[in-house]
Amino acid sequence: MNGLDWLHDESPIDDPAGHGERAVRALRKLKHPKSTLPGKAFQLDPWQERIVRRIYGPKNEHGGRLVRTVYLQAPKGSRKTSIAAGLGLLHTFGPEKIERGGNVVAAADRKQGRIAFEEALSIVETQAALSGKARPVDSRNRIIHVPSGSRFEAISSDAPTQHGRTPQFILVDELWAHKKPDLFHALRTGATKTAGSLLVIATTAGRGNESPD
């Protein structure tokens, strides 16, 4: 696929193992407390659904996920934080989770990191099926899936060193706003040590000309 036409056309997206469809179904089963859809259903617009299918559908010759790095530039009002939290929850509570998997949202500062954490927590608390299976650790901006030990955590670039992490899923929120490159480099290095890891860099459209070195 060349360019971005595939985002809005109806061209087929490879999904030999059905994992793209599986991810979309899992997201559509979620509820969001601020959703205006019937039953508080998680909103997934057509272009967002195609991104999800493009991430999780295509496979390499060994059956592994072909997409390992995603750059997502979205306009204001596109619910970027909700989609980001949803992807993180796919890897923490959903079909992409692994035993004791680490899944992080990396924000520029503690305040932004807290927003990402509360967004994910609000979605989790709306899911009756997760009652008793999710354990929030408020002081660490962390949510744990108790049966598997998989965890979702919001961290910030102004926190102490994050070297040594080997995350499965990483979302770097507004990379341009990170004052130092240390956190991004540490997480990217850790991800290369984890089979099937996914790095998503998300930024608001019109921003991103400034970034850490």
Q: What are φ and ψ of residue 144, in 5° steps?
A: -115, 135
Helix (H), strand (E) at residue 71: strand 69-74
**Is the model more confident about 110 or about 39?**
39
Confidence of residue 206 (pLDDT cuts 50, 70, 90): low
Report the predicted TM-score, pTM, of the whole model to 2 decimal places.
0.86
pLDDT of residue 159: 56
Q: Averaged over 173-180, what is the pLDDT?
A: 71
Closest CA to 117 of 140, 101, 94: 140
What phi and psi values does residue 116 have, to the nearest 5 degrees?
-65, -40
Question: Regarding beta strands 150-156 and 142-145, do their DSSP bridges make them parallel or antiparallel, or are they unpaired?
Answer: antiparallel
What confidence tens digit (pLDDT) does each residue in 20-45 have? 999 999 999 999 998 999 999 999 99
pLDDT at 17: 96
Residue-wise pLDDT for 121-165, tens only, equals 999 999 988 888 999 998 889 999 999 999 999 887 765 555 557
pLDDT, average across residues 7-14: 89
pLDDT(47) > 60: yes
State the chain's mean pLDDT as an integer: 85
> What's the whole-number mean pLDDT along residues 82-108?
90
183, pLDDT greater than 90: no
- pLDDT-based confidence at residue 1 (cuts at 50, 70, 90): very low
Residue 20 tokens read as 């793209």
Residues whose CB falls within 8 Å of the CB of residue 113, separated by 6 or more in sequence, listed in order: 105, 106, 107, 141, 154, 155, 156
Asked whether residue 7 carries a pLDDT value surpassing 70, the answer given is: yes
* Residue 176 · residue 208 · CB < 8 Å: yes
- Quick one: pLDDT at residue 6? 87
- Count of alpha carbons within 13 angstroms of residue 125, beta-carbon side: 9
Q: Quick one: pLDDT at residue 188?
A: 79
